[in-house]
Structure formats: structure tokens, C-alpha cells
Amino acid sequence: MDRASGPFCHGQGAAGVTSSPPSAGLHGHLHMEAALRPDGQTALAGQSFRAPFHIGKPYWDGRVLQVRVVNPTAGILAGDRLALDVRVGPGAALLVMTPAATRAFMMENGVAECRQDFSVEPDGWLEYASEPLFPHRESDYAQTTRIRVADGAEAYFVEALAPGRAGRGELWAWRDLKLTLSVTHAEELILRERLAGSGAALARRAALHGGAEAWFATIVIISQKLAPDDCVWEKVRALHRDGRWVGATRLRRGGWIVRVVAPGSQSLRDALSDLRSIFSEKLPHLQSDLRRV
């Protein structure tokens, strides 16, 4: 498949990505470092990127610095090795968005790998709002994400997975998928998980939720502003309806993980929007408008 204008690859990383023989592909990277300026605004103190990554013009909206990351190629192809490194300095506030879905295309030979590292220093804030990953038929994709949050810092991280190209009737058709996530808060590992398997294996898991077309999302929240008895949790539980599964689990050191399983893309999108609105009552940085261009 030729590369042309199209959607973004969301990748992350560290150790744990499966190695494979060298093959043709893009070896791209994106490094961003956000810093607090003397006037109280956040700006990019450093940036470096190489195809297929590209960033739009950053925008300070009064709460956070908004940065949109795009991939001007068709998506992820065999042999691609991508790395994303985002750092938020002390007191800085950064929102990173991927305005288009990530697509891992069919791979006759080889695999694609994406590594992501996120770090937030004391009193810093990071929100990562990505569009879903779409693994296409016969794709083989490994993504590793590592999030490090210092004591006193906050983070809101969203990762979503589509069952495939549902609109074309292509569900659970990928060859292999590995998604690894680890979260460290105040130098303590509070979460480590791995989703791995063929499309067929994930289809069986989706069937447990009562439907063939299941859309998954994970939200990791790190903040001392959320307490177990907050009224926000009752609102979160209220989203568990209409064939949609929503649940939350408390982690150590002010961490929370929220899971969503939705029967369709719009149902998932609505749930993520509602959750962001609910948590914005306690986390003011979430009151920024994602729709601004």
C-alpha cells in the first residue's frame, strides 16, 4: 500500500516490544517538552519529529497548551518503528490530541512497532486524548506505553481500540496485537497490564459482553483531587447502561482506571465525552474544548 494523506498512528513505548528482522518501513520519532513560562502560560521548550509524525501549531487556551499530533501518511505499515516521547515540566499543562484514528494496515510480512513514553513533573498536568486504534485484516502490531507521573502531578490518559473496520464488515481480523501499558506514580509502579492476542481471541472476549462488535477504552487518571466517596463515581456508574459496560477501579497513590466496553463507535465516543465532562468537575484542566482547531 502506498503512503498518502490519512490518519495518525498512536504509539508509545519502552521495553517489551517484540523485535523482528529489519524490514522496509519508516523509523519516525516525536519528542515534545512542555515548560511553564514566567507569565504562567505553557509553551513547547523543545520539539523534534521525523516522518511520519507531524504536529500542528500549539495553542494556549488559557488552561492548557493544546498540541495536535498527526501522521500525514496512510497509517502504520509493516516495518514501521515509531517512538513518541512527551515530557511535561514542573507546573506546565499540556493537552496532546490525535485528531484522526490510528490504522494498522495489512502486513504480508513483518510487524510494526510503536513506543510511547510520557512523563509529568511535579505540579504538571498531561492529558492524552487519542482516537481509537483500528487494526486491519492480517495486521501485526505491537504498542508499548509507559507513563511516569511525579508526586504532585496529574494525568488523564485515554486509549481506545476498535474491533476493526466495522463499517466494511471486517471485525477481529488482525493477525496479532500487543498493547502493553505501565504507570508509575511517585516512583512506584501502580499499574502494569498487557492485552495480547489474535483477532479471533479478542472476538471471544468481546462475546462475553453480549455482542460481536465491542469497542474498548481505558482511561487512567492520576490525581489527588478524586476521592472514593466523590459524587462523580455515581455519575460514572450511571453510564453503565444501554448495552455499554463502564466500571472504575482505584489504584494506589491517587490513581484510578476506568474501563469502557461499548456496542458501537458512537456509543464509545459518547461515553468518553460524558466521562471527560464528569471528571472535569474535579479536574478543571479537562474543561478545555477539544473541538478547537
pLDDT tens-place string over residues 224-262? 999 999 999 999 999 999 999 999 999 998 999 999 999
Q: Is the pLDDT of residue 97 over 50?
A: yes
Q: What is the mean pLDDT of residues 33-53?
A: 93
In a domain, 99, yes or no: yes
Per the structure, the complete domain to which residue 48 belongs is given by 27-285
Q: Is 290 exposed, middle or buried (CB count within 10 Å of its CB: 0-12, 13-18, 19+)?
A: middle
Residue among 130, 109, 120 at smallest CA distance from 20 = 109
In a domain, 9, yes or no: no
Q: What is the mean pLDDT of residues 284-292?
A: 87
In a domain, 293, yes or no: no
Which three cell numbers mark 221?
Answer: 487518571
Q: Where are the beta strands (DSSP E) in 176-234?
A: 176-185, 188-197, 215-222
- Rg value, the chain, Cα: 18
In a domain, 110, yes or no: yes
What's the start-to-end Cα distance of the chain, in Å? 30
206 pLDDT band, cuts 50/70/90, is confident
pTM score of the predicted model: 0.89
In a domain, 2, yes or no: no
73 pLDDT band, cuts 50/70/90, is low
Q: What is the mean pLDDT of residues 55-63?
A: 93
Q: At residue 203, what are phi and psi to the nearest 5 degrees?
A: -60, -40
What's the number of domains the chain is made of?
Answer: 1
Q: Is the pLDDT of residue 175 over 80?
A: yes
CB atoms within 10 A of CB 223: 18
In a domain, 267, yes or no: yes
CA distances from 23 to 20, 111, 157, 239 (A): 8, 9, 32, 45
